[in-house]
Homo-oligomer: A and B are copies of this chain.
Amino acid sequence: MPNSDNSPRYDVIAIGNAIVDVMAPCEDELIDELALNKGGMTLVDEDGAKRLYDAMGPAREISGGSAANTLAGLSAMGAQCAFIGQVADDQLGEVFAHDIRAVGIDFDTPVRPGPPATARCLIFVTPDAQRTMNTFLGASQFLPPETLDADAVAAARILYLEGYLWDPEEPRAAMRRAIEAAREAGRKVAFTLSEVFVIDRHGDDFRALIEDGLIDILFANHLELAALTGEDDFEAGIAALEGKVPTLVVTRSADGAVAVSDGKRAEVAAEPVGEVVDTTGAGDLFAAGFLSGHVKGDSLENCLTRGAVCAAEIISHYGARPEADLRELVAKKLG
């Protein structure tokens, strides 16, 4: 039921892949041997996933999914969140649902019976802490737009969308419907570009969304910025989007991040980290930190600093879900 007074029930509602990460350390030689796209995300089918899993060392399973990771971070910092994503009726689906609900996130998308299985992402982590992701989308690619809870979308201050999920057809249609619902309710839409290959395939859609003024907050890394704008020069890329999206946030790995919002610009250096163990989720948690400030009306600088603190926490351990008390880390940093 829509809130009669239109006051938001959620800070952020996200639509994303409902995915369990299967992570194992590996040497660079294995990346070469398996001809993997080092540092990137590649979609694989069930056979491909099986082949890679067979080649993988002993692994650990930790819930993941880009937007879900972002919500886990937001929730840890006290934001009210809801997640929309498709799991199958299987054990990994139970794991995903448990882990997201256990941090206080509403997750009511009905389980999908029958095959395919819940999505998993096989992540090879090399000694340089770089993650190489191979995703079997499984149930996650079947998110029927007709089951979308438009009232829940309308009840959230921000709708957060994961670019990865623009690739499969059903979730793309669901996200389009969600954008409409958010717009009708006067809510903001945040979008993360996710990965260069998604832009290669759907860049026209993304540019159209931007031109139509449907994206309020855009998250990208420097490579995605270049792919989207066609500008290899970082500043030229920023300039190409400035004014077209009210808030633009661009991360640059170890070189920190830049945000431009309503004519103001802020920059932040990367937070120092004792040992970088696994970079999985760095961008997701940067977005979490940024949004945690944004929903509170914090300054652009502070939003970036929050992002940097959260990203630093996530890369200091395996897995893309926070382990330390993010609220405490942020409070300590912001003083």
Contact = CB atoms under 8 A, between A and B. Distances in A.
A91 B62 contact: no
Contact of A56 (B72, B102, B117, B319): B102
Interface string A89-133: 011100100111011000000000000010000000000000000
Contacts of A103: 57-58
A236 interface: no
Interface string A318-329: 010101000000
A60 B319 CA distance: 9
- Which are the 10 A-B pairs with shortest beta-carbon distances? A61-B61, A58-B99, A91-B91, A58-B102, A60-B62, A57-B102, A91-B92, A60-B60, A58-B103, A90-B91
Nearest to A75: B58
A59 B92 contact: no
A53 interface: yes
A17 interface: no
Interface residues of A, number: 26
A247 interface: no
Contacts of A54: 98
A194 interface: no
A80 interface: no
The count of identical subunits is 2
Contacts of A60: 60-62, 319
A63 interface: yes
Interface in A289-335: 319, 321, 323
A65 B251 CA distance: 42
Nearest to A93: B91
A278 to B, nearest CB: 12
Interface of A: 24-25, 53-54, 56-63, 72, 90-92, 95, 98-100, 102-103, 117, 319, 321, 323
A263 B58 CA distance: 40
6 contacts: A58-B72, A58-B99, A59-B99, A90-B91, A91-B91, A91-B117
Contact of A58 (B24, B90, B117, B321): B321
Contacts of A61: 60-62, 95
Nearest to A59: B99
Contacts of A319: 60
Nearest to A88: B91
Which has the most chain B C-beta neighbours within 10 Å: A72, A91, A99, A117?
Answer: A91
B53 A98 contact: yes
Nearest to A22: B95
Contacts of A323: 25
Contacts of A63: 58
Contacts of A53: 98
A284 to B, nearest CB: 15
Nearest to A72: B58
Contacts of A58: 63, 72, 98-100, 102-103, 321
A60 B22 CA distance: 10
Contacts of A321: 58
Contact of A59 (B59, B72, B90, B98): B98
